[in-house]
Structure 1
Amino acid sequence: MSAAKDRSGKSFSLRRRIFALAVVLLLLAAVVLIVFIRDYAERAADRAFDRLLAASALTIAGAVQVENEAVVVEIPFAAFAMFSGGDRVFYAVEDPDARTVTGYEDLAAQMPETASAEPSFTDMTYRDETVRVASIGRLISTPSDTGWVTIHVAETQNQREALSNEILSNAVLPVIALTLLAVGLVWFGVSRMFAPLTELEHELRTRPPDDLSPITVPVPIEVDHLVSALNAFMARLRNAMERVSGLVAEAAHEVRTPLASLRAQAEVAMDEHDPEALRRRVGRIHQGAVQASQLVSQLLMEATISHRMDNREIETTTLLAVVEEVRQRLEPEVQRRLSIMLKPEATAAPLRGDRVALREMMRNIVDNALIYSTGQVSIEGHVVGDMLVFSVSDSGPGIDDAEKPLVLERFRRGKASGGTIGSGLGLSIVSRVAEAHRGKLALEDREGGGLTVSIAFPLLRRAAGALSLAAAVLLTAPLLLTNPVEAASTLYPAKDGNADTVLTILGTTDTPLFAFFIEAFQAQRPDIGIVYEEWDSLPLYQGFLEGKLGREPDLLISSASDLQLKLANDGYALGYDSPYLADLPDWAHWRSEVFGFTFEPAVIIYNPHEIAASEVPRTHLTLAELLETQTERFRGRIATYDIALSGVGYLLAAQDQTISSTFWRLASAFGRVGAQFSGSSPDILNGVAEGSLALGYNVLGSYAFARQAEGASIEVVVPDDYVLVLTRSMLIPRSAPHPELARAFIDFALSPAGQAVAAGPTALGAVIPQGTGEWTSEAIAARGRGAIQPIPLGPGLLVALDTLRRQRFIDTWQEIVSPKP
């Protein structure tokens, strides 16, 4: 016996030692190699991106200047243009007294000062993300002092992790392939060694399903224990099947017994001549039929509820509707036994779940109360905190405390139910429905005798403001609402009258134009109501940061994409991988957080009655020359954006200054003619159309094309030297109450249907190429001969928003365009 055990033990361990040991060694070698490769990949990625961080910090350091013994720095565009665009970028510049000159003060507060011109690197957690910070010092000297200016540049680590993973994956694939090949060869060798096992497999595969007899095929001693265990398992399985077969037969017998009893009672009743005896016999038949019918009905209902619970049939109803539906199914004399007392807040409170399951739950509770008691049955409902509580009380025999947890199980009934027809399934159904709807079921003794069944359901989370708004959505036409801040709101009720789903959008697009998008979106989603508030770009950005918008937006839409990008960079945006993201040009989205959906060139507009076609300036240089040579003619009759008030105006001016060598010459020409400045395109369009203005510069082409199509007295010039193109961008705030609705609108705006609206009546331009409509990106580009220069959504936009750089740019602009006498 001992020798057999030794032999079998050696035989079993032989296969394991050959295969398992070989595999373990191969895997261990592969793991060691992968760890080494991963370390190398991380170090390589860090070196590459650290050089970029250091270069960015050095570029900023090179721009540090001293004016009037104060440190000033104008962040160069190249400082951020070198980044990949997939990471968030932060920076801070501190003077020798540790005061933040520009950038993010909270970043500077977490970093020490630097007194070295050599860059140093630190990993830290900033704004809930791990960032890599490059710090460098710049020595400055003034007549009164000498000190170090500290520059910090921080970048999140998504792209360096992506590079590390790419290096790792490219190197690991061959390692994995070789390891798998080696494992395969080992397995092949072991399989050949144990070829006799194939005979055992053939024996098992060719057996009929009911053959559970022991295996008698000769097998190698290496698998002797396996065959023995398999034979023992089949023996246990054979015994189990015999027990199941006996159980099925017994159940069939139990079912046949009541049916046979009913049949026998009916046959005896057929031969009964005594009317009184016949009546008693029929009564027993009826009682048995009722019990059988109730059992079958409860089983079918339990199966139905199980199916609906699995399929999550969700809709919104109210406690009053559920109670009323159960009451109406009762006979009139039984209805009079019900006493319904629902508090007003409980009557109107929404109940989210499966209506049929909730009805059957209520019906079972009420039926039990009516069956086990002869007096009044009271149904009460009220709201306690964030819970909707209802209870059903009767004056019946009640349930002993020891039996209360038991009666919630299937086919279990309390002692007090003796002599009463029942199936033992009612309270188990109630328990399951309550649990599926996150409710809390309690069985309590009623004061004075009887039982109280109470269930508490969590209320839907909805603010009071949302409730009043939902009530307003029941109206049939858009309404103008007032806002305590600055913007006027427009309410577009859901087409199907649904008052529960309202999407709040705050944007800078003119309401009549944006209404086309809303109408097309609601044609696809008639269940969604929309509140749209029209803002100017800069107040929208500042109001969001300061929490002074008056309402919490689900979606922010702005033509000032640099401000949108800064919100996303500073961690205020939710990411979303839209299925249409792959169709967007790379320049029109950033980090799956900011999405462009229009294609809008910055154009020149003019009144054809004021400027002849032959003298129309078609480039930025010819516009400057026209204003320089005909100053008095155009004095006070040229308009453009006020870049201090308009976010989109500042964005366009900053891009002009980067691209055009004639920008400041053009600004000087604006100053000579006393140009007018406005915060929005419509004001400039109105002035040109009315003739009070002769020409408007850097007007959004979308507005210009739309007004021209309406018959306004304006002409549009798409410049022949270069054309700046911006895209209105969307982002979902992290604080959005309904981000799922915002995602649905983003999907629509980027879909062919949404792009058709942009390329159609709005004239905002379709950003996705190869669209259909009059205002596709290709059609707009064809209107001019200049180079199309989209303003890309990326970290480069943050440079122009640097506080110090922005203020210096605006000061220089105002000094040139509004010279003091």
Structure 2
Amino acid sequence: MADRTVSIRRRVLVAATLLLLLAAFVLVAFIRDYAERASERAFDSLLGASALIIAGAVQLEEGEVTVELPLASFSMFSGRDRIFYAVEAPDGTNVTGYPDLSEGLVPEDDSEPTFADAVYRGEPVRVASAGRLVSTASGTGWATVRVAETLGERRALAREIFQNALLPVVALLLLALVILWFGIGRAFRPLLSLERHLRARAPENLSPVDLPVPQEAVQLVGALNDFMGRLALARERLEALVAEAAHEVRTPLASLRLQAEVARGESDPEALRTQVARIHDEAVQASQLVSQLLMDATISHRLDTTPAGATPVGAVVNEVVRRLDPDTADRVRVSIAPGMAEATLGADRVVLREMLRNLVDNALTYSRGPVEIAVAARADGSVGIDVADRGPGIAIEEREAVFQRFRRGAASSGTNGSGLGLAIVRRAVEAQRGRIDLQDRPGGGLLVRLVLPRVPVRSPSQGVKALASLALLALLLLPAGGAGATEVVYPAPDGSGETRLQILGATDTGLFAHLVRGFQALRPDVTVTYEEGETLAIFEAFASGSRPPPDVMISSASDLQVKLVNDGFAQPLNLAGAANLPGWAQWRSELFGFSFEPAVIVYNPDILAENEVPRSHLELAELLEKQAVRLAGKIATYDVARSGVGYMLAAQDQSVSSYFWRLASAFGRAGVRLSGASPAILDGIERGDLALGYNVLGSYAFARQAAGARIGIVVPDDYVLVVTRSMFVPVGAQRADLGEAFLEFALSDEGQSILAGPAALGAVVPGTQGSWTAERIAARGRGAVQPVPLGPSLLVGLDRQRRARFLDTWMEIVAPQ
């Protein structure tokens, strides 16, 4: 007794505690690893999806690798991380994006995304890379697409998962220790009494134990009473128990093995692959249909707005063949009669290309043999283009019907198609005053014959004269004045001049002055210098480093602001007022929106009667289509090539509205006048030079109307785009503390009241009192309010190739002259 230093209870308690702590430690390590892996898998999936979306848009045009970033490229990134991307041609040259992103990374040679950790611009990033196989004049190679994201959000998600899982583990561990402490004491108490009794008995005393014991110990006492008298029987039963246990364990093990074999035999990967293939086929068919519908709309717009050109037929045929899939291109045979390659057709190159491409695609789809393209001159001087195949052909009674939209012949059953190809072809042929015939090909198959009139080529001297006229017209249309900034100084109210705050912005000085004076009422010792310019001009000056960084950067072009913040030009701030901002009006604790400004329609009531004022985007397009002659030269909107906010609004319009290009075409017919700023448009409307202005920032219009200007304002009833002027404190600002104080004031109750009152820029913080609050502005229209959120998705529209394509298309439609 004297040698016993540790009780059984203590031993069990210590062992159980150590076991629980070890289990908790292992569990915590597992949770931490799982949280990191789960976060990495989740964000890698988004990163890889973004790279694949961009890779899917990579294509070859005239031997050059091009890409137009889809709108969804960065839409999955909703956090506060910075996003970088790059697209490289097979020879390693940068196509678009950040040229130095690929330093230290090998080119991709597979379409499956790969991931790597890197350091870019001094910050660790995760890079997803995907390849896109393209065929160039020098051979076939892999274009490389890279998308990189900083690690803040994935680390935050891993930390959140770990912390949320750690709290229950710690709580359960503490609870288990408490229960263990009290439970062991209560469980061992009857055993201690029994132990004392047995120790007091003589060795030869085998009489039954008659101590009162709790119910839980009855079986133990009975076993002790029967032990000595029934030792042999207990031995036999023990042997039987061992045999039975072996049998019982063998049976479930065998059953488990059998079930595993059955499960392995019943798993059907072929059926799974079949299902995946069926889903893929459906997706391909849907993609083909969407592509055809988009091309149908593009052809319609180009036929309506693009002037007839002189396009060589040989160049069109060669372009169509180059764009074919390499797996089917070797089935195409081209025959061009001597001298016909330079024969010119009177249509836009895109229209001719899509017309011929649809015919060739149909021939390749519905036949297995070679497809022949023949170009020859006809007796009447026209150009004949034949596309022949060895497919099932089209029955005579169906030949007129297949030219209707979504109509297909009986022989096309079982083959994917949209029923739009021949309808597009006929529209393009009729626009050129040509004709199309479907004929049976001798020996079997279908022969599609196009007969198109040939047009003469304009002489070089005519081209020079036309370019000179265009240049003169451009000079006449440009508004007076340049894009240079103007500077206004607001002296410190207390007369001191030592403390100065430098602000660079694109907000009308007269409206912004209210906010500056409100700030100086709290800081009378601060002299404020405000430099005003156009959105694109101040962005380019700031990004190029041609001027010192100001203390505050302000712009209504949210996409340009996001670009600057994403590229590391902004300082992170901890603003108390940011807690009241809507989520769409702030990003990364670096960029903050402070106004609520809808894009509205402004009109002159002396020119447009109340009953003809358009209340939606569709009504505006219809008005311009019907009244193009009357309103010629009296409609104005932003010059999207000069104005950053104008380009952003146009890009957002395109993504929201299905009527955008129709409206753009109507602008072109009405001879729209392009301007770099809303005040200039409002001046023209107020003077009577303009009848209507589109996408004018509502803040300027509301302020002008409140000052007594005779103008009407329409907040569209279908949808209204809302932008917020955003601001940040640049890296390298001389007085970053004053910049932060000014931002804090703009988001405060006092600052928002000024924006909702005399400044008329609109208060973005909910619950602000005043005439121009977000709630009151939204109530002026019946349509959906579509704020333009601050975030990485705005970077898509700034991609240089996508922007160039958009501007080219815009200018072709809106200002084709």
Partner in structure 1 of residue 532 of structure 2: 534
2:158 & 2:739 partners in 1: Cα distance? 34
Moved more, 596-605 or 111-120: 111-120
Partner SS for 1:133? strand
How big is each residue's C-alpha offset from its partner over 1:38-78, in whole Å with a ceiling of 9 and x where there is no partner? 11111111111111111111111111111101111110111
Structure 1 residues 191 and 775, CA, compared in 2 at 3 Å: closer, same or farther? Answer: farther
1:31 lines up with 2:31 in the alignment: no
1:497 & 1:16 partners in 2: Cα distance? 80
Q: 1:522 aligns with which of 513, 520, 523?
A: 520
Contact 1:690 1:713 survives alignment (8 Å): no
Q: Residue 719 of structure 1: CA displacement?
A: 0.7
Q: Residue 710 of structure 1: CA displacement?
A: 1.0
Q: 1:125 aligns with which of 119, 128, 131?
A: 119
Partner SS for 1:109? coil
1:144 & 1:98 partners in 2: Cα distance? 14
Amino acid at match of 1:500: E
Amino acid at match of 1:528: V
Partner SS for 1:733? coil
1:584 lines up with 2:584 in the alignment: no
1:53 & 1:717 partners in 2: Cα distance? 41
Partner SS for 1:91? strand
Partner in structure 1 of residue 74 of structure 2: 80
1:605 lines up with 2:602 in the alignment: yes
Partner in structure 1 of residue 620 of structure 2: 623
Partner in structure 2 of residue 104 of structure 1: 98
2:185 & 2:572 partners in 1: Cα distance? 51
Amino acid at match of 2:77: F
Amino acid at match of 1:491: V
2:489 & 2:5 partners in 1: Cα distance? 80
1:750 & 1:701 partners in 2: Cα distance? 20
Q: 2:700 aligns with which of 700, 703, 708?
A: 703
2:779 & 2:801 partners in 1: Cα distance? 39
Q: Residue 499 of structure 1: CA displacement?
A: 3.4
Matches within 5 A, 1:166-185: 166-182=160-176
Q: Residue 644 of structure 1: CA displacement?
A: 0.6
Amino acid at match of 1:70: E
Partner in structure 2 of residue 666 of structure 1: 663
Partner SS for 2:66? strand
2:5 & 2:152 partners in 1: Cα distance? 52
Q: 1:641 aligns with which of 616, 627, 638?
A: 638
How big is each residue's C-alpha offset from its partner over 1:551-602, in whole Å with a ceiling of 9 and x where there is no partner? 4311101000111011111111111121122211111111111100100000
1:686 lines up with 2:683 in the alignment: yes
1:158 lines up with 2:152 in the alignment: yes
1:657 & 1:819 partners in 2: Cα distance? 19
Q: Residue 144 of structure 1: CA displacement?
A: 5.0
2:71 & 2:46 partners in 1: Cα distance? 14
Moved more, 575-584 or 173-182: 173-182
2:12 & 2:735 partners in 1: Cα distance? 59
In structure 2, list runs of 5 or more residues that go unmatched.
187-481
How big is each residue's C-alpha offset from its partner over 1:148-194, in whole Å with a ceiling of 9 and x where there is no partner? 111001111222112211211121111111233356678999999xx
Q: Residue 27 of structure 1: CA displacement?
A: 4.3
Q: 1:745 aligns with which of 739, 742, 745?
A: 742
How big is each residue's C-alpha offset from its partner over 1:489-546, in whole Å with a ceiling of 9 and x where there is no partner? 2222222334332221111111111110011111122232211111211111111112
1:114 lines up with 2:114 in the alignment: no
Contact 1:485 1:548 survives alignment (8 Å): no
Q: 1:488 aligns with which of 486, 489, 505?
A: 486
1:543 lines up with 2:530 in the alignment: no
1:110 & 1:815 partners in 2: Cα distance? 41
Contact 1:84 1:159 survives alignment (8 Å): no
Partner SS for 2:53? helix
Moved more, 49-58 or 492-501: 492-501
Contact 2:87 2:94 survives alignment (8 Å): yes
How big is each residue's C-alpha offset from its partner over 1:438-474, in whole Å with a ceiling of 9 and x where there is no partner? xxxxxxxxxxxxxxxxxxxxxxxxxxxxxxxxxxxxx
Supply the RMSD in Å over aligned alpha carbons. Answer: 2.7
2:110 & 2:535 partners in 1: Cα distance? 41
Q: Residue 642 of structure 1: CA displacement?
A: 0.5
Amino acid at match of 2:39: A
Amino acid at match of 2:511: L
Amino acid at match of 1:578: L
Q: Residue 777 of structure 1: CA displacement?
A: 0.7
1:180 & 1:529 partners in 2: Cα distance? 61
Q: 1:800 aligns with which of 784, 788, 797?
A: 797
Partner in structure 2 of residue 140 of structure 1: 134
1:630 & 1:155 partners in 2: Cα distance? 50
Amino acid at match of 1:728: R
Partner in structure 1 of residue 647 of structure 2: 650
How big is each residue's C-alpha offset from its partner over 1:353-406, in whole Å with a ceiling of 9 and x where there is no partner? xxxxxxxxxxxxxxxxxxxxxxxxxxxxxxxxxxxxxxxxxxxxxxxxxxxxxx
Contact 2:483 2:534 survives alignment (8 Å): no
Give the TM-score taking structure 2 as reference length. Answer: 0.61
Amino acid at match of 1:544: F
Partner SS for 1:80? coil
Contact 2:9 2:185 survives alignment (8 Å): no
Structure 1 residues 184 and 580, CA, compared in 2 at 3 Å: closer, same or farther? Answer: farther
Contact 2:483 2:533 survives alignment (8 Å): no
Structure 1 residues 515 and 20, CA, compared in 2 at 3 Å: closer, same or farther? Answer: farther
Partner SS for 1:56? helix
How many matched pairs?
Answer: 521
Partner SS for 2:74? helix
Q: Residue 138 of structure 1: CA displacement?
A: 0.7
Amino acid at match of 2:91: D
Q: Residue 724 of structure 1: CA displacement?
A: 0.4
2:174 & 2:538 partners in 1: Cα distance? 58
Structure 1 residues 517 and 143, CA, compared in 2 at 3 Å: closer, same or farther? Answer: same
Structure 1 residues 707 and 25, CA, compared in 2 at 3 Å: closer, same or farther? Answer: same
1:701 & 1:17 partners in 2: Cα distance? 78
1:747 & 1:15 partners in 2: Cα distance? 63
Amino acid at match of 2:160: E
Amino acid at match of 1:543: A
Q: 2:497 aligns with which of 496, 499, 504?
A: 499
Amino acid at match of 1:647: G
Q: 2:46 aligns with which of 52, 66, 77?
A: 52
Structure 1 residues 149 and 711, CA, compared in 2 at 3 Å: closer, same or farther? Answer: same
Partner in structure 2 of residue 461 of structure 1: none
Structure 1 residues 819 and 28, CA, compared in 2 at 3 Å: closer, same or farther? Answer: same
Partner SS for 1:784? coil
Partner SS for 2:682? helix
1:518 & 1:643 partners in 2: Cα distance? 29
1:818 lines up with 2:806 in the alignment: no
Q: Residue 800 of structure 1: CA displacement?
A: 0.2
Give the TM-score taking structure 1 as reference length. Answer: 0.61
Amino acid at match of 1:104: Y
Partner SS for 1:108? coil
Matches within 5 A, 1:369-518: 486-518=484-516
1:572 lines up with 2:569 in the alignment: yes
Contact 1:93 1:108 survives alignment (8 Å): no
Partner SS for 1:149? strand
Q: Residue 763 of structure 1: CA displacement?
A: 1.0
2:185 & 2:578 partners in 1: Cα distance? 49
1:26 & 1:183 partners in 2: Cα distance? 8
Amino acid at match of 1:42: E
1:145 & 1:633 partners in 2: Cα distance? 55
